Amino acid sequence: MADYQAPLRDMRFVLNEVFDAPTLWASLPKVAENVDPDTADAILEEAGKITSGVLAPLNREGDEQGCKWNDGEVSTPEGFREAYQTIVEGGWNGLGGNPEFGGMGMPKTLVAQFEEMMQAANMAFGLAPMLTAGASLALDAHGSQELKEKYLPNMYAGVWSGAMDLTEPHAGTDLGIIRTKAEPNGDGSFSLTGTKIFITWGEHDMAENIIHLVLAKLPDAPKGPKGISLFLVPKFQVNDDGSLGERNSVSCGSIEKKMGIKGSATCVMNFDGARGWLVGEENKGLAAMFTMMNYERLGVGIQGIGAAEASLQSAREYAMERIQSRAPTGAQQPEKAADPILVHPDVRRMLLTMKGYVEGGRAFSTYVAQWLDISKFSDDDERRKHAEGMVALLTPVAKAFLTDRGLDACIMGQQVFGGHGFIREWGQEQLVRDCRITQIYEGTNGIQALDLMGRKVVGSQGKLYELFAEDVAAFIEENSNDETMRPYLEPLAAAFERLSDVTEHVIRQAGDNPDAVGAASVDYLDLFGLTALGYMWAKMVKAAAPKAETDTSGFYTGKVKTARFYFDRLLPKTVALAEGIRSGSGSMMALTAEEF
């Protein structure tokens, strides 16, 4: 198993050469005062050292040891507490946090690169800072000044961690039927009672306090999603002077035994009259939570990329060293008993597919992060509104497409190893197990597809889609006279036209067929994702091609050749997806329950 090394060269290429992030940051005054190119580069360099040198070596042992539950207390795998302190001491928990409360105020375009490194190195561990950052974001956006001053500094510092408590035993996707109750105490606080399940890092021994953001219903709340409120519930009460008080009435009833991410604690949390405080307005809890979930869903997509990057690194090294059989064109290393398996077309197919999805996905996650930065930091109302529309449209694609392809890539990496990929010592089977959850949590990928097709595309009558369509069309038009780009723009334009035609087709179908959206949604998201990555690869060719002619490192030439593979072998999958979508819902809905 190759030791994970942060792909800093490619991250710098994406940030600086593809998206010109420094120019974006300079256009956002609230960002410009906190980051410049030198600062960003230093952050990337240090992040690479910590994730590769501290987190990655703990990944396998964390998986094998797992977290342990004992009478409500959860102990973490050996080395996790020390690694957490390293993260805390470096200020990494507050990397994207509000500087007013001790955060570093870094843009998501930069933070996303650190998140990928952390998730690739050790996904189970990486979930803890990820959840704290998300909880901090929601609190900063919707909490009162008093709550922010009281909790955010220690959360950004990592002294306290955060958790998100949504799911209940009977209510997963349908949060409108949650039963957790919040009763007012008459002093501005509330007593929360109920049970939450699948709470990532809901209890552990790495931080001195855990701040839970809990969805619950007030006594007179309307039924359904419109009756949900958000509450802050600390594990330990916090005194007026900031010191910790008595233990709150919140406890961990058990932790789950899971397929993967075993180094993280997935908790059943019991609230028995636990004292909490309202975050935001009454009955507006879902809106507050979705502030966090837009960021978290991109973060989960980044987890998919990270796992796939780790798998690619190992598979690539193995393919160069493992010798089996001879190349179809004759012996490449006649002095050895066989040639490296890298010579075989099928091994190259797998590695290039992985590379196409990983590097294309990295560019796409940065593209989405760019819109998040504009939507959060821009002083221009029109620009910010445009960015908010792009974020709404692209978030489900980032979450679902990147994790679907992430698992595909991990399985391909395992396949490159053959039988050795099925065995513990090479690490590939753990990546497959760990990556699998990314398709399930933060809203299953089927739900993401429904959100994209139903709410974002059909629900807006195509208006949100038009924002993306205009961006792609403008790029194609701007580069139409560039002969170097022509071999990439033509297939991109064809895929883009295919996506636009199918979009209009489903919008028309949905008018009189209630099943049209659900029947089309998953294939539509894949079609959208493949086209979006085609756009990313075209942008990367534009940045790399001028430098490829004099490139001696292989970076730029490899980038252009990988793009060619993507357009030749992966983007054509859009043809089959479009045909499937156009077939409608008839065959999908035809069977009776008995016929299954």
> Is 442 known to be catalytic?
yes
Among 217, 343, 233, 350, which residue's Cα sits nearest to residue 286?
Answer: 217
For residue 408, being part of any structural domain is answered with: no
263, 77 Cβ separation under 8 angstroms: yes
For residue 533, being part of any structural domain is answered with: yes
61 pLDDT exceeds 90? yes
For residue 51, being part of any structural domain is answered with: no
Q: Would the pTM count as exceeding 0.95? A: yes
Choose, from 149, 442, 477, 549, the residue flagged as catalytic: 442
CA atoms lying within 13 Å on the CB side of residue 442: 31
pLDDT band at 1 (very low <50, low <70, confident <90, very high): low
What does each C-alpha distance from 202 to 60, 100, 267, 510, 512 come to in angstroms? 22, 27, 6, 41, 45
95-112: average pLDDT: 97
| Tokens representing residue 59 in the block | 């990944």
173 pLDDT exceeds 80? no
373, 107 Cβ separation under 8 angstroms: yes
**Residue 422: CB partners within 8 Å, gap ≥ 6?**
414, 429
How many folded domains does the chain comprise? 1
232, 139 Cβ separation under 8 angstroms: yes
17-24: average pLDDT: 98
76-94: average pLDDT: 97
For residue 592, being part of any structural domain is answered with: no
DSSP-based three-state secondary structure for 201: coil
pLDDT exceeding 90 applies to what percent of the chain? 96
Q: How do residues 419-457 score in pLDDT, each as one tens digit?
A: 999 999 999 999 999 999 999 999 999 999 999 999 999
Question: CA 295 from chain center: how many Å?
Answer: 8
Among 462, 302, 464, which residue's Cα sits nearest to residue 398?
Answer: 302
Total count of residues recorded for the chain: 596
174-195: average pLDDT: 94
- Alpha carbon distance 347, 356 (integer Å): 14
pLDDT of residue 289: 83
- Alpha carbon distance 309, 450 (integer Å): 28
For residue 567, being part of any structural domain is answered with: yes
For residue 305, being part of any structural domain is answered with: no
Domain containing residue 533: 444-586
What does each C-alpha distance from 150 to 20, 102, 207, 282, 291 come to in angstroms? 37, 12, 16, 21, 20
For residue 184, being part of any structural domain is answered with: no
For residue 21, being part of any structural domain is answered with: no
With b for 16 or more beta-carbon neighbours within 10 A and e for fewer, the 124-157 pattern comes to bbbbbbbbbbbbbbbbbbbbeeebbebbbbbbbb
